[in-house]
Amino acid sequence: MVQRLCIDPHQADFEDLKPVARALLDGGVVACPTECFYALTALVDDHPSLERIIRLTGESERENRPLLVMVDHQARVLCYAREIPEEAEGLMGRFWPGLMTLLFLAHSGLHQSLVGPARPVGLRVEGLPMVPRLVRMVDRGLTGHSAHPAGRPPAPPADEVLDYFGDKIDLVVDGGAGTADAKPSTIIDVSLGVPRLLRDGGLPLRDLKQACPIFRF
C-alpha cells in the first residue's frame, strides 16, 4: 500500500523529510507538491525509476517529452548541463527559485528520459522549500514530472494523485489543499544562444523582457 505522509511543504525540515529521502534512495517513486502541481519524483541517476515514471504517465506513447530535473542551486546545474550561457545566468539570478525551467545542452551519459531529441536537459530550482531540501539530502537532482497520466488534467491535491496512480507509486507527500489555479513553469531554451520562450507559464512576459532584452518569442 502506498505510504501517505502529511507534511507542510513550506516548513518541513530535514527530520520531517527523512522518510521521503529514504524512499527515493531506496529506488522509489514519490509524488510531492511543487509550486505548480504535484510531481512524480525520483533520483535522476536511478534509471529503473525514471523508466517507471515514463510507464506510469504514458509518456512513452506520446512525442518525446523529457523529464524535468529539479536542483537546489545554480552550482548543481553543471552536474547536468555542459555550460551556463551568460544570458542564462541573468535569468537564473532573477527568477530562481521559481516558476522558470531552463533548457541547457546536456552532458553526455544522462538517461534518455531526461533529454530531448536535440539533447537539451530541463532544469529548475523549485520555489517550494521542501524540494531543494530533498535535493540536498539525496545529493543529486530529482525529477519533477507532473503527476498525472498523459492526456489527463494535473492533480492539485494528493487525493487526485492517489486516484490516478494508487499503489503504483511508493509514497505521497500530502501538502494539504492544492491550488486549482496554479500555473505551469515558464520554459525557456538557452541551449542555442539567444534565449527562446517555448512555453508561457507563471512568469509575466514583461519581467522576462526586462531581464533579458534579446529574448526571442
Is 31:161 a contact under the CB 8 Å cutoff?
Answer: yes
The model's pTM is 0.93
> Count of residues for the chain?
217
The residue written with cell numbers 525529477 in the block is: 143
Please give the pLDDT value at position 62. Answer: 46
Which of helix, strand or coil describes residue 144? coil
Is 201:185 a contact under the CB 8 Å cutoff?
Answer: yes
Is 166:172 a contact under the CB 8 Å cutoff?
Answer: no
| pLDDT averaged over every residue in the chain | 90
Please give the pLDDT value at position 93. Answer: 92
Residue pLDDT tens, the chain, 217 long: 899 999 999 999 999 999 999 999 999 999 999 998 899 999 999 999 999 999 999 865 445 678 999 999 999 999 999 999 988 998 999 999 999 999 999 998 999 999 977 789 999 999 999 999 999 999 999 999 999 998 888 877 899 999 999 999 999 999 986 555 678 899 999 998 789 999 988 888 888 888 877 666 6
Cell numbers at residue 105, please?
Answer: 545542452
Residue 171: enclosing H or E segment and its boundaries? strand 171-174
Please give the pLDDT value at position 61. Answer: 45
The residue written with cell numbers 522518510 in the block is: 19
